[in-house]
Structures are given as C-alpha cells and as structure tokens.
Structure 1
Amino acid sequence: MDKVELLNLVPKFLAFYQMANKSDIDKEKRWTLWEEHYNFAAVPPGEEGKVIARNLLEGAWESYSEHLLNLEQWEPNQERINHYLAKIKALLGYDQPINLVVVYFVGGFENNPFVAPFDEKRLALCLPIENGDSDILLSHELTHIVHSHTANLTAKWERTIASTIIQEGLATQVSKFLVPGDLDEHYIEHKKGWFETCNEHKWEIIKGTLPFLEDSSSEAVTRFTFGNGTTNNEREVYFVGWEIVQYLLGEGVSFKELATIQEGDIPNYLREVYPLFLTNEVVDPSSN
C-alpha cells in the first residue's frame, strides 16, 4: 500500500509574508526575512540557486497581495494525489508500494514543481500552489516519482541530459494522456509564448542537445533546465523531451517501455533514436 505524507509549507510562507509586508521593510531586509523564516524555492542548489530565488521573490512580491485570500483558504487534497498516483503506476507498469512526501509551497508564480530527495528512503514531490491546484502539474510530478522507481533514476541534481530529456518528455506526455483536452502548451509551458518560440527553432534546439546527451555536470543540467541552451531559449530540455517522447509514442513505443529504460542505458538509447527522429526534419525552401 502506498504511503503519502503531506507537508504544508503555506502557513510558513504566510507567516513570513506578514512579517515582511510592512512599509519599513526594504528589499534587503525582506530577503533576510525570507532566508530566516521561509527559505524554500524551486531552484538549483548552491549560490546560483540563491540568486534565482531572490529574483523570483522580488518579481512576485507585488502579486502576492492579489492572491493572499486564496493562499489563506487553500487546503491540501490527498484524494487527488491517490487518484493520479494509482493511474500513473498502472500506466507505467509499477505495482510496488510507493512511499513519498508531498510538499506544498508558495513559489514565484513560475509554475515550477519539482522532485527532490527528502530523506534516505523517500522522495519529496514539491508542488507550488500560488496559481491554484493543477491536475496537469500533479500528474506530471507524480510521473517523476513513479519513473524514479521503474528506471532506477538518481535522486541527485546531477544527471545526464539524456536522462533529463526522457524524464521530462515522459512526464509531460503522461500528463497529456491522463488530463486530455487542453492545448499542448499548457502541458509544458512555464510562460506564455515559450512553446511557440521553441517550435520556431524546433530542429535547431533538438540538434543542439545531441552533443550533451552524456553530460551530467551541474552546469549542463542548470543550463538546459533553468538557463538558456544552445539556441538561447530557456528550458530547452523540456521541449526536446516533449518532442522526442511524442515521436516515440507515435512509433508505437508504450509508456511502460519508455519508463523501464534504465537510467544508465538512456544516453545510448537516445543516440539511436536521434538519427531516426531527425529524418522528420522539414527544411524550409526559403533557407536555400
């Protein structure tokens, strides 16, 4: 039987907000209060993560007041978690009990849930709630949890770009399968217009990740998930994952088959897939 523990950080954020939302609190003091009394964000580890977290706080600060009532009234819903967890386990062919912690937090309106180690035995599924509950985001992140078991994925920040491509591609396509009927960009987009921009540079983005498939450095993971990739677009690995997994599903590969590719085998698997996928490239005649 699955065991799901809920950890709600929303009251902790509200306590920080009450302390920081005063006329005599400047940006420096607000950041100090955030670090002392909240200190939770969807960012990479280390100093770079702190810079991103501070920028998120400053960018979101004026918007929190508009959402304050919703934050104060929000409550967790464990039934939704159990519902989608059961569906995803069945879809990916995993029948063993899962033990996880679901952490609810207030982010910076950037729609960036994530999965990270919680303790030696459990992963934490971290869900931002400032934009409201989303079945798409929930099913996406629960896919990561189940996938970590089926493919023996590392829980560390450092993992190959190839592994990240499959992880994000599987999660976005599973969420589309389980929560159908929405626009494609709503399953993957973190800000309006991003998906359209990526589509305009589709083949350039996909080919740009090819030399980095085996790269597992923190710098590479940060570059392709938070920063700008080879075409100067943000979060290119998400777009590549969406496109490649969509292609593989169309070729008859099942969700279960994709989910059970062991992490160490993923780079070689994608090395074989890329040439086949790239045969679909459409060359614009005007570029000749």
Structure 2
Amino acid sequence: MNDHIEIHNLVPKFLEFYKKATTKDIDCEERWELWKKYYNFAAVPPGENGEGIAKKLLNEAWDKYSDYISLIENWEPDESLVLGYLTEVKKVLGYDRAVNFIIIYFVGGFENNPFVAPYDQERIALCLPVECDTSDIILSHELTHIVHSKTANLKSEWERTIGSAILQEGLATRVSKYLVPGKQDEQYIEYTKGWLKSCEAKKKEIVKGILPYLDDSSSEALTKFTFGTGTTGNERELYFVGWEIVKILQKQGITFKQIASIEEKEIPNYLREVFPLLLEEESP
C-alpha cells in the first residue's frame, strides 16, 4: 500500500495579503484586519488566545517580510523529501500500513513552528512554514507525530491530556535525534537559545510542577505548558519533560515502537509510574 500526500499551498493567499498590506500606508490594526480577511493562518492554538498570539507574531515579523518576499514568491514544495522521511519514521515506529495525510505549506512569522492538526475525520494535516528552512530534524519530528497518531490511535487534536502531549513531543524529539544523528541536543528541541540549559537547571521543579496536570486536557493547561511559562517561568516545559521521559524509557530498553503503541487513554497513568525515575536522575 502506497502512502498518499495531498498538498495544500497557502503561500499565494499570504502573497495576496502582503500585496494589499503594502500598497498603501496603513497602521497595524488595518494590517491585522487584512491578514484575517485574506490569509488567517498561523501556528497558534485555536480560540481567542490563539488569535492574540497570531496578531503578536504578525506585528513582530512584519518588518522582516520585505527581506524574504522574493524567497517566498519563488518557493516550491518538495514532496519527495517528505516521503523519504515518512518511510524512515514508519520503520522506527513499526507501522506498515499506508499513511494518507495533508501537507499545508504556509508563511509563518519566522518562529519556525511547524505543527500537525486534524484536517478531517480520516486525515491529519502537517503544517510547514516556508519562510524558514524545513530541516531534516523538523520533518522527522513532525512526521513522527503523523505516524504516532496511527500507532496509538491518537485524536491529534489541540485539546488532549498533558500526559499525552508530553509523550507525543518526547517521542518526536527523540526519533528526530535517532534519524538525524550527530547534532547538539539543542538542535532537536530548543526553540530559543539557552532554553534547554535553563530547563535542565530546574529539572526537578519542572517535573514536580507538571505532574498534577497529567490528566488535564484543557486548552488553558496546554497553553500554560507550551506557549506559556509553566510553573517555573520556562516556556515549553511540556517539551522538556517529554524529552527527558523518553530518554529514561530508552535507558530501560523500551523501544520507540513500544512507546508509540501506548494507547492515548493509558498514557497519563503510564507516565506517573515513570516520573519518579526523572526525579531520581541527576541533571547534567
């Protein structure tokens, strides 16, 4: 059975917005209204909080677009690269069925934040920003999410338990390190420079802080541990805990395939049994 990818390219919509926003002198509020009318796509959570983040990203990125507009206009998708890494991820996670999904190419705000999201009842969308280079690490990470959704029957929705999100991100970061070896750890997980070292310095506090939330599936909790500052003042604490959890599991001889087979409803309780090992391990 062959894998199938359907391409949705939102770059023309962004270029239409950009043209309209640069033809006359407008303020940031008018520009925001044009963005919502003609483009309206960003790597943010759904709802009012997400809209506020999208507006902030647009304002912060606006002055950079002029330097990259030629690159954006001349960008072309590369489906073969995606299919190559998809094959490798399926091998690692032990999945031998065909995968059918959407790739949405979009222009983000230079935050380099690809993501996956539900598209319809059968398919997931892999959303890739084009203004930043899509590295092999990013592709293997995001494709792990796609395949993991099949192996563990994940809902792939924004609102899922903190425990599920931890395991999803931990698996994706560690699989990307396995498939694209030889880089510094920061390159597989870090969003802003110095973040990983900051989290490592507060490892036990971060682990203890997130533990009570493992069953929480609210948008507020997910935002707190991803876009927000968690319980210790660090962004993306959920990613750090996942990175550390999967490392512990690997040390115990548990394979990526075994991790990827844990059903979503079982994940929070499964992680509760592993968390004490995180607290025992010394930080680097």
Smaller-chain TM-score range? over 0.9
1:103–1:127: 8 Å Cα contact kept in structure 2? yes
Letter aligned with residue 128 of structure 2: L
Letter aligned with residue 124 of structure 1: A
For structure 1, the residue ranges without an aligned partner over 5 or more in a row are 284-288
Deviation string for 1:155-205 (max 9, x for gaps)? Answer: 221111111110000001111111112111111111222222112212211
Q: Which piece of structure 1 moves more, 268-277 or 143-152? A: 268-277
| Aligned position for 2:56 | 55
For structure 2, the residue ranges without an aligned partner over 5 or more in a row are none
Q: Give the TM-score normalised by structure 1.
A: 0.95
Residue aligned with 1:7, SS: strand
| Aligned position for 2:201 | 200
| Aligned position for 2:171 | 170
Residue aligned with 2:76, SS: coil
| Aligned position for 2:219 | 218
Deviation at 1:99, TM superposition (A): 0.7
Letter aligned with residue 120 of structure 1: Q
Q: Does 1:269 align with 2:270?
A: yes
| Aligned position for 2:46 | 45
| Aligned position for 1:131 | 132
CA RMSD of aligned residues (A): 1.3
Deviation string for 1:8-35 (max 9, x for gaps)? Answer: 1112111211111245121111001000
> Aligned equivalents of 2:59 and 2:227: distance in 1?
18
> Aligned equivalents of 1:257 and 1:143: distance in 2?
14
Q: Does 1:118 align with 2:148?
A: no
> Aligned equivalents of 2:216 and 2:204: distance in 1?
20
Q: Which piece of structure 1 moves more, 139-148 or 239-248? A: 239-248
| Aligned position for 2:235 | 234
Q: Does 1:70 align with 2:56?
A: no
> Aligned equivalents of 1:192 and 1:15: distance in 2?
33
> Aligned equivalents of 1:135 and 1:75: distance in 2?
17
> Aligned equivalents of 1:258 and 1:242: distance in 2?
13
Deviation at 1:282, TM superposition (A): 5.7
Q: Give the TM-score normalised by structure 2.
A: 0.97
CA, structure 1 residues 143+205, in 2 after alignment: closer, same or farther (shift >3 Å)? same
Q: Which piece of structure 1 moves more, 243-252 or 145-154? A: 243-252
> Aligned equivalents of 1:211 and 1:276: distance in 2?
16
> Aligned equivalents of 2:81 and 2:251: distance in 1?
29
| Percent identity of equivalent pairs | 61
The number of aligned residues is 283
Deviation at 1:126, TM superposition (A): 0.4
Q: Any runs of at least 4 consecutive aligned residues in structure 1 with deviations exceeding 2 A, and if so which?
A: none
| Aligned position for 1:286 | none
Letter aligned with residue 122 of structure 2: K
1:89–1:95: 8 Å Cα contact kept in structure 2? yes
> Aligned equivalents of 1:251 and 1:146: distance in 2?
23
